[in-house]
Structure 1
Amino acid sequence: MVAGHAQKETHVPDTTGTWLTQEAYDRLQQEYDFLAGEGRAAIATEIDERRQEGDLKENGGYHAAREEQAKQEARIARLRQILRDATVGEAPADDGIVEPGMLVVANVAGREMKFLVGSRESADGTDLDVFSTQSPLGAALLGKKIGDETSYTAPNGNDITVKVIAAEPFTG
């Protein structure tokens, strides 16, 4: 930095991991604890009971229980990854700059949309659309402020223009 010249600070939002409120993190941790503990035990008991019913090739209950076990193990793995990589904290600053955890109103290709930039887990129990920071729209908006215009390339190859109308912290 040259003496006498102030360097402009650029706001760069943290996009590592999944941003979660403490409440969302606790809810996901409870789900993980249940599935990895009581849930696993229950499905193992169910599989064992179905196995004892006889011929496994024609035992629909056994195959359904094994399928349920696979779904449960996939959810446990997903929860483990979310919780491991989560950034937990308070809602972001109410400074109108788009970052994870912000509720955004934007004009997207001529249509007004309201959505959360973050993770689906943060918005469970709401009917909000959610765009991750890795999605084309989410990535294009990071660091933008109210009044900014930007564009992104949609998966179909079209360029989509976006104007930020409002951005405020999502409080859940």
Structure 2
Amino acid sequence: MSTTSSRPWLTADAHARLAAELAALRREPDLADEDRFVRDQHRQARIRQLEDLLHNAVVGEDPPDDGIAEPGMVLTVRYDDGDTETFLLAARDEVGTGLEVCSPDSPLGRALHGAKPGERREYEVPSGALVRVTLVEAYPYGRYQSHG
């Protein structure tokens, strides 16, 4: 099974952490009084968000080691100013990997999806400026984890 931009990618650790958070939220009683209404609405929204994420996630399954940028890959990119950055392309709820995480739904993540090493892509930042970035390397998170 290959991952796609429509399916979030999570490590097994992140999946377990988020499942535990969901279980804890489900155990909390619904709040009835007016002062707690907003807090309860936020809790219910987080429950729905976690249910959707956990139901649709690809968990710990490495994408093919083909160098193509997609969720579950560790990407190294070089910006036009010469700076380089390495990060995991995964759901933004991913933490504890030892890497920065870039969401596939972010402007940078969308721009890089499907890129091959050496390909130059661009994306728009909130100011309206275009940022150009070149994919240097892409490899599965499992390879990073076994050598990281």
Q: CA RMSD in A?
A: 2.6
Alignment match, 1:168: 139
Question: What SS class does the counterpart of residue 168 from structure 1 fall into?
Answer: strand
CA distance in 1, matches of 2:139, 2:129: 28
Identity among equivalent pairs (%): 35
Q: Which runs of 5+ in 2 are unaligned?
A: none
Alignment of 1:1-172 (within 5 A): 14-37=4-27, 40-41=28-29, 63=35, 68-110=39-81, 111-122=83-94, 124-126=95-97, 128-171=99-142
Shift of 1:30: 2.2
Residue identity opposite 1:109 in structure 2: D
Q: Which runs of 5+ in 1 are unaligned?
A: 1-11, 57-62
CA contact (8 A) 2:69 2:116 kept: yes
Question: What SS class does the counterpart of residue 121 from structure 1 fall into?
Answer: coil
CA contact (8 A) 1:13 1:143 kept: no
Structure 1 residues 31 and 99 mapped into 2: Cα distance closer, same or farther (>3 Å)? same
Residue identity opposite 1:112 in structure 2: T
CA distance in 2, matches of 1:13, 1:152: 22
TM-score by length of 1: 0.68
CA distance in 1, matches of 2:134, 2:118: 6
Residue identity opposite 2:113 in structure 1: L
Shift of 1:99: 0.5
- 1:89-116 Cα shifts (integer Å, max 9, x gaps): 4121222111101111101232211122
Shift of 1:67: 5.4
Alignment match, 1:4: none
Bigger Rg, which one: 1
